[in-house]
Amino acid sequence: MNSATPPADSAAFCADLVRSHDFPRYVATLFVPAVERRALLALYAFNVEIVRVRDQVSQPLPGEIRLQWWTDMLSGHAHGSVEGNPVAAELLRAIRDFELPVEPLSLLADEHQFDLYNDPMPTMTALEGYLAATCSALFTLAARIMAPPSEAVEHLARHAGLAQGIAQVITNLPRDAAHRQLFLPQQILDSHDCGIEDVFAGKESSNLRAVLDQLVSEAQQHLATAISLLAEVPPSVRPALLPLSQARADLKRLSRPGRNPFAPQPASRLRTLWTLWRASRSREFTK
């Protein structure tokens, strides 16, 4: 891997990318020192690039090629100039400076190949595996930038990622259904007699509400476990876990009775700022 230091405008590019596409994580970086913040923004910008592949291609093959470029880059076999890609340059810098493991980054990119196809998520176990390799891995890597790795941090990060990821699956239902893509586990849909075509048609029903209620309950359990484990990890790690506070707010919103699951309800940036700022000053994230 090339160890040349990327220019500062690469850092600015990553910051702008995360601010535009992953505002809660961008806000969380405002509460960490400058050196760690730059590395976190590189990590989060990489995640944005991987997640956005799905929306930038109309067929799976071009998407697979884009994801393969990232895994090749991480293995040191990129085709073309890595230095010309500001996100890649910044990510390599973060890997070098904080000794980040490459394997979970490559696995994160590989796991998002699922996004390129319209195959249904088969089971809850499959969804948890997908989220562990993506959302949980991102929390683990972010925590590693803030402090040395530990089993306690990895345990917390797994639950944090599952809580956040399930909340995102429910939040993204309107967009996914419009694209005939299903991250709701088919196993749970079947258990509540909820048809996939009804979901794709945007049909509200008591059956679908039962599916979503079960997923919210699962996410809330993971969230409660993650919050309870905050006291067991070093205070220096906790700013990397601040997006948990947004997941908590999202789950509260998603569990409101009478909510239309097919009506997009994005949180305002001002509310997101307020949520994470309050969390940054709370005993949970500081003591």
Give the domain CATH number at 6: 1.10.600.10
Q: Please give the residue range of the domain that contains residue 219.
A: 118-287
pLDDT tens for each residue of 118-132? 899 999 999 999 999
Q: Which of 92, 117, 142 is the last residue of a domain?
A: 117
Query: Does 275 lie in the same domain as 149?
Result: yes
Query: Does 133 lie in the same domain as 109?
Result: no
Of all residues in the chain, the percent with pLDDT exceeding 90 is 89
- When divided into structural domains, the chain yields a total of 2
pLDDT tens for each residue of 99-151? 999 999 999 999 999 999 989 999 999 999 999 999 999 999 999 999 999 99
> Which residues, at least 6 apart from 153, have a Cβ–Cβ distance to it below 8 Å?
140, 143, 144, 147, 233, 237
pLDDT tens for each residue of 49-83? 999 999 999 899 999 999 999 999 999 876 666 76
Q: Tell me the average pLDDT across 186-199.
A: 96
> Which residues, at least 6 apart from 49, have a Cβ–Cβ distance to it below 8 Å?
17, 70, 87
**CA dihedral over 152, 153, 155, 159, signed as positive or negative:** positive
Query: Does 130 lie in the same domain as 175?
Result: yes
Q: How many CB atoms lie within 10 A of CB 101?
A: 14
**CA–CA separation, 122 vs 139, rounded Å?**
25
Predicted pLDDT at 105: 98
Query: Does 217 lie in the same domain as 108?
Result: no
Predicted pLDDT at 80: 60
Query: Does 220 lie in the same domain as 264?
Result: yes
Q: Tell me the average pLDDT across 86-91.
A: 95
Query: Does 174 lie in the same domain as 87?
Result: no
Query: Does 142 lie in the same domain as 280?
Result: yes
Query: Does 107 lie in the same domain as 26?
Result: yes
**The tokens of 196 are what?**
């996939």
Q: Quick check: 142 and 43 in contact, CB under 8 A?
A: yes
pTM over cut 0.85: yes
State the DSSP string of 228-280.
Answer: HHGGGS-GGGGGGGTHHHHHHHHHHHHT-TT--TTS--PPPHHHHHHHHHHHH
Query: Does 128 lie in the same domain as 113?
Result: no
